[in-house]
Amino acid sequence: MTSQPTLTKAENGPGDPGESHSGLHAGLKNRHLSMIAIGGVIGAGLFVGSSSGIATAGPGILLSYALVGTLVVLVMRMLGEMSAANPTSGSFSAHADRALGPWAGFSIGWLYWFFWVVVLAVEATAGAAILESWIPAVPQWGWALIVMVVLTATNLVSVGSYGEFEFWFAGIKVVAIGAFIVVGGLAVFGVLPGVDSDKAGVGNLVDHGGFLPNGPGAILTGVLLVVFSFMGSEIATLAAGESEDPQRAVTKSTNSIIWRIGVFYLGSIFVVVTLLPWNDPAIKEQGSYVAALDSLGIANAGEIMKFIVLTSVLSCLNSGLYTASRMAFSLGERGDAPKAFARTTSRGVPRNAIIASVVFGFVAVFFNYEFPDSVFLFLVNSSGAVALFVWLVICFSQLRMRKIIQAEAPEKLVVRMWLYPYLTWATAGLIVFVLGYMLTDTEHDGRTTVLLSLLVAAIVIAIALVRQRLKGRNAVRTEV
């Protein structure tokens, strides 16, 4: 049986910074979990990457987002079923460990950790570029260093500190997108006072070459461009392990993901493609959201969006470091990583896991500045398909875990996957199809991303199988 992290109530007073084996603390409040769940589906990629998707698929990008959104809802339903029955900071890695075998938990856990530490470097660089544009006296690498150090310190203090920062970061994102949808929606229907946008209208969905100006195939290409902006939806299930009522937190985040994706992704993209024609040059030149704000005559639209993107970047960094460290902690507890990763401070902080994750993040930032077109490009591409690998492992884990839960504790099935097992198999098939389609994509580096990600995954799985075999041999010798 998979080992579970020790969870204790957070201390209120100052704690001894020395290490202990007290385990993680239940330091996240309900409002933290609610905002982490909402903010987890709003990545910086939504603001930055949507313009290329719109340019590729036109208004049909809405179908691309709807398709990926449906995929995420189904995967999160499966993960919610397993996590509500067995909340743990290892989330899907711990579930895979028990359902599919130690090799699966080891492999997907380390791949997921690798994905997030590379994301740390990507987001730190993106945030540094924005900050340097405001205060050029500090070089870009200096800003990247400052951002990483500040958020590392935040995570080292306590899980409550992480939760508080993420509450405000995610809150700004939610308010910003909510305001954008309301203001943009009023302009589209011509009822926004003081604004006369001659380009806005629902007619933009069909008036410029039709709803699918580049053909139905562009929907799938759009899927490849937007799928990675959804990574982070699963963070709430990891964070729930450090809340006072994990089962309730998982159930709530799982049940609410449909409206979160519908409002924040489909709602905001609908506003963009109705405020402006999909082929308006401003979308590609300025970015979709900046161009949409500019079309309304809102002053300093670019700077406003820079601030929102910076907030999203900091949120992603904050959560990325938290997520990577908790996965490392879980791997350490299960013996799949150095045992030092499973040690916590008296405040319940896995300090060694955090430091190890951020050190690799710093190294990746260095590679980004020194070898951007070789080493760093390899890191980015080789981790790019990990999101799809994680979703696929969740599917196969749920197929097995449902039977285990039903046999051992059926009362824990408070969240159930719809139409099990048929919809689970259909979801897995769709993920495999997307991966296969990526192999045909040479224009947007889809083939390179899949092949390099598969190479890294094959290496990690080989290590896992060798470790498992060696452990088996050692166990036999011990018995003899």
In this predicted model, what pLDDT tens digit does every residue of 73-113 receive, in sequence order? 999 999 999 998 988 878 899 999 999 999 999 999 999 99
Lowest mean pLDDT among 132-141, 248-257, 412-421: 248-257
- As a whole number of angstroms, the distance between CA 181 and CA 301 comes to 15
Lowest mean pLDDT among 46-60, 133-147, 339-353: 46-60
Angle between helices 375-383 and 351-370 (to 10 degrees): 130
CA 347 to chain CA centroid, nearest Å? 26
- Residue 134 has a pLDDT of 94
What pTM value is reported for the model? 0.89
For the chain, what percent of residues have pLDDT higher than 90? 41
41 has a pLDDT exceeding 70: no
What residue type is 474 in one-letter code?
N
- Residue 174 has a pLDDT of 86
- Residue 264 has a pLDDT of 87
What is the average pLDDT across 283-309?
85
- Three-class secondary structure assignment of 111-122: HHHHHHHHHHHH
Average pLDDT, the chain: 86
Cβ atoms 414, 247 nearer than 8 A? yes
22 has a pLDDT exceeding 50: no
- As a whole number of angstroms, the distance between CA 331 and CA 218 comes to 40
Token readout for 294 is 């500019």
391 has a pLDDT exceeding 50: yes
